[in-house]
């Protein structure tokens, strides 16, 4: 029964019809994470930055500007082109290719699924990889899934 329902939800026509209901539930469920993302995006937007809405496999607010460039190039996990925090994507001005956006929107969907648990699940996955002697970023299950989403796009 549940398996049949899951198969039904994966059909493209049904998946399209479910986009906004699923997104609305995801927005509520991920709201605490998104609130943190908005806090980080605030200085990005206030200091000569801009914000726009983007939509792909999920929707997100995209914040870019000089503060985002500085933030991402000095990120404690290493320099990166973009990062997703709930429904907020903070990106380098010149670093947002279509592929990077697909990757970040995959993280937005993960946040919709995991909600407030997402940051903890993400860190636990990195810790689990590191404990097994693997790379904490590259072998994180959420990163693996986001890279798979890039290939599907
Ligand atoms: Zn990622």
Q: Which domain covers residue 139, as residue numbers?
A: 19-152
The total number of structural domains that make up the chain: 1
Quote the ligand 1 centre to 126 CA distance (angstroms): 12
Is residue 118 situated within a structural domain? yes
Average pLDDT over residues 49-56: 94
Is residue 41 situated within a structural domain? yes
Is residue 79 situated within a structural domain? yes
Is residue 6 situated within a structural domain? no
Per-residue H/E/C for 115-126: HHHHHHHHHHHH
Is residue 1 situated within a structural domain? no
CA distance 120 to 125: 9
Average pLDDT over residues 84-91: 97
Quote the ligand 1 centre to 146 CA distance (angstroms): 6
**Res 67 pLDDT > 80:** yes
Quote the ligand 1 centre to 82 CA distance (angstroms): 8
**Res 153 pLDDT > 80:** no
pLDDT value of residue 51:
95
pLDDT value of residue 31:
95
CA distance 117 to 46: 29
Quote the ligand 1 centre to 104 CA distance (angstroms): 6
Is residue 120 situated within a structural domain? yes
How far CA 107 is from CA of 23, 46, 133, in Å, comes to: 13, 25, 24
Is residue 50 situated within a structural domain? yes
Average pLDDT over residues 73-92: 91
Quote the ligand 1 centre to 107 CA distance (angstroms): 7
pLDDT value of residue 10:
75
Angle between the 141-152 and 98-114 helix axes, to the nearest 10 degrees?
Answer: 130
């Amino acid at each position: 029964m549940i398996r049949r329902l899951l198969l039904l939800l994966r059909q493209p026509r049904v998946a399209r019809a479910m986009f906004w209901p699923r997104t609305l539930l995801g927005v509520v469920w991920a709201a605490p994470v998104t609130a943190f993302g908005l806090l980080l995006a605030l200085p990005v937007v206030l200091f000569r930055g801009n914000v726009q809405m983007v939509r792909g496999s999920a929707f997100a607010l995209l914040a870019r500007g000089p503060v985002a460039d500085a933030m991402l190039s000095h990120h404690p996990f290493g320099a990166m082109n973009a990062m997703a925090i709930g429904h907020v994507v903070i990106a380098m001005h010149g670093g947002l290719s279509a592929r990077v956006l697909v990757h970040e929107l995959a993280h937005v969907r993960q946040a919709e699924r995991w909600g407030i648990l997402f940051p903890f699940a993400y860190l636990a996955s990195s810790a689990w990889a590191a404990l097994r002697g693997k790379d904490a970023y590259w072998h994180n299950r959420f990163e693996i899934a986001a890279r798979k989403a890039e290939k599907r796009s």
